[in-house]
């Protein structure tokens, strides 16, 4: 199936996702799957990425693709209630990522991250310098009560943590730095509570979890032994589980609370020393499922013990899992073929 989807992005509680496309953008309810908003290229142009503000009518739009309506250094806020752009941010360089919070907007450039007050009387609060960040890597904890900002650090494999609730205009709390990997960070996620951050490097073999309060490494999860590109990492709402999707076409599910569920090598179970200790000491996923290989997808936890994977080829996958490691498909659809339904 041919698709012109440039990006998939979930909202903060993973109840909705957006598809940014060369011919506009679409907004979907995730469970049950339903198209809620469709904006064509005449309204918004080609779209590179869209960020939602929870389940509200406000969307932050980054432009790009074949027919952009605005320059790539502009972020526009779309109000879906009145079907119009209502706020514009002009940045000094190409915008790579954007996040919306209840009272702030975070805009990511190649070597800087800007934080503005939002949405009323919006103005710049502060900016953070980062190392080269061509992927626009940045995360904000989903909880509206404790917004933790995670951006790349200045050194290879490092990241900076900033507690946005402690930041006032024209000043910022000193960032906390974590040295997470020996290679550049390629993917990361913050849990709902803002207490744990998960990171993966460009090697894509390991996912490391750190406590945001004291920067202590909590555990190390192994996706595999072959290098891979991780497209997505996500926590479950209560941080009991973590899912990850890569270009290998596999979505892995790890247990974080009851880690005895995770697989370990036969060497580790027997208490033996292996010549491949770096592989045998890690925790492996206790269940997984496959999606189209080498097709970027975003994964997130749905109701109960379920995982949703939305791919840029237009396909939607829902799997349910058990703590015993069984994983079965409960839903499949082509979201691009859905008809527009009523608004929220």
Q: Greatest CA span in the chain, whole angstroms?
A: 65
Q: How many CB atoms within 10 Å of residue 275? A: 7
44 sits in which H/E element: helix 41-44
- Tens of pLDDT, residues 75-109: 999 999 999 999 999 999 999 999 999 899 999 99
Angstrom distance (rounded) from CA 25 to CA 127:
29
Angstrom distance (rounded) from CA 115 to CA 198:
22
Angstrom distance (rounded) from CA 263 to CA 280:
10
The reported pLDDT for the residue numbered 341 is: 61
Alpha carbon 320 to its chain's center: 21
- Tens of pLDDT, residues 299-323: 999 999 999 999 999 999 999 999 9
The reported pLDDT for the residue numbered 172 is: 59
pTM of the model: 0.92
Strand partners, 225: none
| Residue 270 CB burial class (10 angstroms; 0-12, 13-18, ≥19) | exposed
Residues in the chain: 344
278 sits in which H/E element: helix 277-280
Q: Reading across the β-sheet that carries 241-246, which strands appear in turn? A: 230-235, 241-246, 250-255, 287-290
- Tens of pLDDT, residues 188-227: 999 999 999 999 999 999 999 999 999 999 999 999 999 9
| Mean pLDDT, range 108-132, rounded to an integer | 95
Strand partners, 260: none
Evaluate the CA torsion angle 142, 146, 152, 157 in order and state its sign. negative
The torsion angles phi and psi of 149, rounded to 5 degrees, stand at: -100, 130
Which residue segments constitute the domains of the chain, with CATH numbers given? 237-344 (2.40.10.480)
């Amino acid at each position: 199936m041919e698709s012109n989807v440039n990006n998939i992005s979930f909202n903060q509680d993973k109840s909705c996702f957006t598809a940014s496309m060369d011919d506009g953008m679409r907004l979907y309810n995730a469970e049950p799957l339903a198209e809620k908003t469709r904006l064509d290229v005449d309204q918004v142009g080609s779209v590179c990425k869209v960020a939602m503000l929870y389940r509200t009518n406000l969307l932050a739009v980054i432009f790009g693709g074949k027919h952009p309506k605005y320059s790539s250094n502009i972020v526009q806020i779309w109000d879906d209630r009145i079907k119009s752009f209502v706020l514009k941010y002009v940045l000094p360089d190409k915008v790579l990522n954007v996040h919306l919070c209840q009272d702030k907007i975070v805009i990511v450039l190649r070597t800087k991250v800007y934080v503005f007050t939002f949405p009323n009387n919006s103005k710049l609060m502060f900016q953070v310098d980062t190392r080269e960040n061509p992927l626009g890597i940045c995360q904000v904890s989903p909880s509206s009560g404790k917004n933790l900002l995670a951006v790349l650090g200045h050194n290879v494999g490092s990241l900076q943590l900033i507690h946005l609730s402690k930041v006032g205009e024209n000043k910022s709390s000193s960032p906390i730095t974590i040295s997470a990997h020996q290679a550049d960070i390629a993917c990361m996620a913050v849990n709902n509570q803002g207490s744990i951050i998960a990171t993966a490097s460009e090697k894509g073999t390991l996912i490391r979890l750190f406590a945001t309060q004291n920067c202590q490494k909590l555990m190390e999860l192994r996706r595999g032994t072959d290098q891979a590109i991780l497209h997505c990492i996500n926590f479950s709402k209560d941080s009991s589980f973590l899912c990850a999707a890569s270009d290998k076409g596999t979505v892995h599910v790890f247990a974080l609370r009851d880690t005895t569920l995770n697989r370990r090598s036969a060497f580790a179970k027997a208490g033996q020393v292996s010549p491949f200790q770096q592989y045998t000491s890690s925790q492996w996923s206790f269940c997984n499922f496959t999606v189209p290989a080498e097709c970027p997808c975003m994964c997130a936890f749905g109701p109960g013990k379920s995982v949703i994977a939305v791919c840029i080829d237009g396909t939607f996958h829902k799997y349910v899992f058990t703590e015993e490691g069984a994983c079965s498909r409960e839903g499949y659809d082509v979201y691009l073929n859905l008809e527009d339904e009523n608004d929220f």
